[in-house]
Amino acid sequence: MEEKILVTRSSMPPLEEFIKEIEPLWESHFLTNMGEKHKCLETELKKYLGVSDISLMVNGHLALELAIQAMNLSGEVITTPYTFASTTHAIVRNGLTPVFCDIDEKTFTIDADKIEGLITEKTSAIIPVHVYGNICDVEKIQEIADRYNLKVIYDAAHAFGEEYNGIGVGNFGDASMFSFHATKVFNTIEGGAVTFKDSDFGLDLYRLKNFGIRGTERVDYVGTNAKMNEFQAAMGLCNLRHITEEIEKRRIVYEQYVSRLSCVKGIRFMELQNNVKSNYAYFPVIFNESKCGVSRDRIHVALADENIISRKYFYPITNSFECYQDRFDANETPIALDISKRVLTLPIYADLDLGVVDKICDIILNECKQ
């Protein structure tokens, strides 16, 4: 295959639509500092996500880092190692100690049944991750948090636009972080947001993302700069108009994979959860080499040989990172460690041609026969 097929590709609106959206910026010269585009996107996202309030950020990582800081947490935070580096780094960069809980083998999310056993007098919060669009056991996590007086911040980077029992996923816990990175279902080029209900928490977020500035002559907080600019917000406004169509296109790709691969012994893919409105963000496949006769790594190479880029996502898990060497033991989360060694996420995006999906499936099927 001559064209390189990446594991994802950024959704972009028609060029003319984006030009029309940013044209007023040449008239106003107002490019940042929470201008009209920023305010409009906040309004539209609150409606789409069905949340009480939202704070837009320059990227998802800073959104999570500042959400943690605004909670005034201390000591230990229970979280999952089966996540992108950002989740663990945001905890550590806030001077907190991550305590890693293993994952559920089917959903890849934090195993809520194992959380309570990790709580100590130092625990101040739980930071679970909605993985690949699979939603955590939000009821059990909240019940534990209420019983032990813990804060809950969800890493919802994979869960944009999803609903659980008809409730927008950004409503669970004390706050949720969303990533609007270019690779996500919804993007603002780079960007992110925190959804929340508590107005005092929202004020602290605002202070943190805008240098603590509260007026032309008032700075009452030691903050940083994490504001989303007007070009990012304009891209978000355009992409939000097309989000329903984009997710529907992803559904078609997802179902094509399922149709072609469901008969293969020794591999399994992510099943959609009951009562969850999915966004079809990722298509992870778990390989059982003893049953299918081929390893994850072999499939990864076979696809790459055809210019098709898959991703070992998440591998390695964060508690085995080199930067945390001798600090954590990945063997304490054996399910996460095992899944990380067998998972491969296949290309999925709205405009992925179904002929390419068939070619990917053919390669996997041929390799599994060897």
The contacts of residue 197 (CB under 8 Å, 6+ apart) are 52, 53, 171, 174
In this structure, the answer to whether residues 248 and 234 fall within a common structural domain is no
In this structure, the answer to whether residues 154 and 182 fall within a common structural domain is yes
Q: 215 is in which domain, residue-wise?
A: 15-241
Q: How many independent structural domains does the chain possess? A: 2
* CATH number, residue 276: 3.90.1150.10
In this structure, the answer to whether residues 208 and 319 fall within a common structural domain is no
Which residue is it, tokens 């998802």?
A: 60
Condensed to tens digits (0 to 9), the pLDDT of residues 296-315 reads: 999 999 999 999 999 999 99
**With a threshold of 0.85, does the pTM exceed it?**
yes
Which residue is it, tokens 């030009």?
A: 19
Confidence of residue 274 (pLDDT cuts 50, 70, 90): very high
What is the structure's pLDDT at 369? 74
Count CA within 13 A, CB hemisphere, residue 346: 31
Q: Which of 189, 208, 241 is the last residue of a domain?
A: 241
What is the structure's pLDDT at 370? 57
User: Is 9 part of a structural domain of the chain?
Assistant: no
Stretch 51-70: mean pLDDT? 98
Q: Which of 141, 133, 129 is nearest to 64 (CA)?
A: 129
d(CA 9, CA 342): 24
User: Starting at the edge strand that comes first in sequence, how are the strands of the sheet with 167-168 ordered?
Assistant: 167-168, 163-164, 276-277
Cross-strand partners of 215 = 218
User: Is 8 part of a structural domain of the chain?
Assistant: no
User: Is 169 part of a structural domain of the chain?
Assistant: yes
Stretch 268-289: mean pLDDT? 96
Q: Both ends of the chain: CA-CA distance in Å?
A: 22
Stretch 333-342: mean pLDDT? 98
Confidence of residue 2 (pLDDT cuts 50, 70, 90): confident
Please tell me whether residue 125 adopts helix, strand or coil conformation: strand
Stretch 97-124: mean pLDDT? 98
Q: Which of 209, 241, 273 is the last residue of a domain?
A: 241
In this structure, the answer to whether residues 92 and 155 fall within a common structural domain is yes
Q: What is the chain's mean pLDDT, rounded?
A: 97
Residues 153, 127: contact at Cβ < 8 Å? yes
Stretch 102-113: mean pLDDT? 98
User: Is 5 part of a structural domain of the chain?
Assistant: no
Stretch 266-273: mean pLDDT? 92
In this structure, the answer to whether residues 123 and 225 fall within a common structural domain is yes
